[in-house]
Amino acid sequence: LVTYRHYATLFFIIISTSTESPLALIDLIQVYVEALDRLFENVCELDLIFNFETLHAVLAEMVVGGVVIETGLEKVVEGVRAQGKVAKRPVNEGMGGRVAMGGNFGWAGR
C-alpha cells in the first residue's frame, strides 16, 4: 500500500502492508510534516537535504521497530530538541575544512 501527501513542492510517501489504515498513515505524515515545520521554521527542500539527521530523529521519535509509538506533536518536537538533533550549522562545519570521509581515511596525496 502506497500512501502519500503533497505539501507545496514536497511529497511525503509511506509504503506499508495492506493491513495498515491509509487514514492513519495520512495522519502520521501530517504530524511528521508539522514537527519538521516547527523544528525548521517553515520547512523547505534544502532543510530536508542538508539536515537529514533531523528527519531521522523525528521519525525515530514517532516510529520504533515499525510501530507508531508517538503522534503527539509537542512530545515529538520536545524529544528531538532534547536529543540536540536539530542542525543549526552547515554540513561539515567543524571538520577543519576536510571532506568527511576523505579526511578521516588519509586519502590526501595518494
**Considering the domain boundaries, does residue 98 fall inside one?**
yes
Domain that holds residue 33: 2-105
Count of structural domains within the chain: 1
pLDDT at 56 over 70: yes
**Considering the domain boundaries, does residue 36 fall inside one?**
yes
**Considering the domain boundaries, does residue 110 fall inside one?**
no
Task: Give the closest residue to 33 by CA, choosing from 66, 50, 11, 17.
Answer: 11
Query: The C-alpha cell of 93 is what?
Result: 562545519
Collapsing DSSP states into helix, strand and coil, what is residue 13?
Answer: strand
pLDDT at 55 over 90: yes
The CATH number given to whatever domain includes residue 30 is 3.30.450.60
pLDDT in tens, 64-88: 999 999 999 999 999 999 888 455 5
Q: Tell me the mean pLDDT in the region 20-43.
A: 94
Distance CA 91, CA 51 (A): 8
Question: pLDDT value at position 88?
Answer: 57
Which range, of 15-24, 53-62, 89-98, averages the lowest pLDDT? 89-98
Which residues is 14 bridged to in the sheet? 3
Q: Tell me the mean pLDDT in the region 38-50.
A: 91
Question: pLDDT value at position 107?
Answer: 45
Q: What percentage of the chain has pLDDT greater than the value 90?
A: 65
Q: What is the pLDDT of the chain when averaged over all its residues?
A: 82
